[in-house]
Structure 1
């Protein structure tokens, strides 16, 4: 499967609320917008189901949580999917894949939304910062970035190689966490990516040791 420029660009809008869209566009135009959104989201769904099927069986990940293309009131400004092992469905930590108008990201995260209903503390998750240097020695960290959860997904994030090379940056980074967590993963900027399912599976395999360290 190829990720195309159009898959990014369908998410590039000035406004995502149906209330606003109904005022701005005719019924026919709005139906066309919804049709295009759903078409790209169906591709997104197929991609993530394929990825889950191709992950090693011992990861125990069989049912990715694929977020809908709408929340009822708005079009999403990104497509998102969470990957959790079957035995860890009620934990805050997860692997995830996200597509927005700027980039495609494959990453490890702590899901803060409704986190009180799941297990896993912020402190325990952030302890992973002590493991990253050793973990990174076993992979190619090209295109890997690390960023505070509070940083907007469209901001320019810190390259992992720069983070690892500077104690000053590491100290500043931890101060930016502001009681929240960090995210780490591979960011692929808007472009065409053939066989994106293979790239996604390979990156999730690379991130799996960090995810498993929280289990």
Structure 2
């Protein structure tokens, strides 16, 4: 995606033997290369997803902790992100998620100190050939950038 992004990270542990069922990659700004806040791309048997996510596996080396990641919720623009899905990080990648517009403010409350939300968009598998997927990925990442930057105090 070019500056200010670092090269994408492609998870090899799941993309080798399981690539037909699960492909995972993520983007970060180069200056936040050790951050656990990521812009993820996930392709599984159900759908393609682009989302802001907390990468738990990187939490121990991240310069931001979970409370900093959750800062994106502080001034969250529900109108701007009304069409985005929002879900708890503990939910399965195969679950059905509700859009921000379908949620009440109480639905967007963290459940405990280990909880976090993901926010993103999805294209169901059967709809992948119906649009320019590369353009959609870039546009979705760009839409999520203000939230990603908020995680880092921006």
TM-score w.r.t. length of structure 2 = 0.84
Given candidates 103, 116, 134, the residue that maps to 1:181 is 116
- Aligned-partner Cα distance in 2 for 1:62–1:90: 11
Given candidates 38, 51, 56, the residue that maps to 1:112 is 56
2:141 corresponds in structure 1 to 204
The higher radius of gyration belongs to 1
TM-score w.r.t. length of structure 1 = 0.62
Q: CA deviation at 1:188?
A: 1.4
- Aligned-partner Cα distance in 2 for 1:145–1:106: 10
1:94-113 alignment to 2 at 5 Å? 94-113=38-57
SS at the partner of 1:113?
helix
Unaligned runs of 5+ in 1: 1-51
Residue correspondences, number: 149
Answer yes or no: is 1:158 the counterpart of 2:80: no
Between Structure 1 and Structure 2, the one with more strand by share is 2
1:50-129 alignment to 2 at 5 Å? 52-53=1-2, 57=3, 60-68=4-12, 70=14, 74-76=17-19, 77-129=21-73
SS at the partner of 2:141?
helix
Deviations 1:62-117 (A, max 9, x none): 40001227477x52541011101111101110111111111111100111014112
CA-based RMSD: 2.1
Between Structure 1 and Structure 2, the one with more helix by share is 1
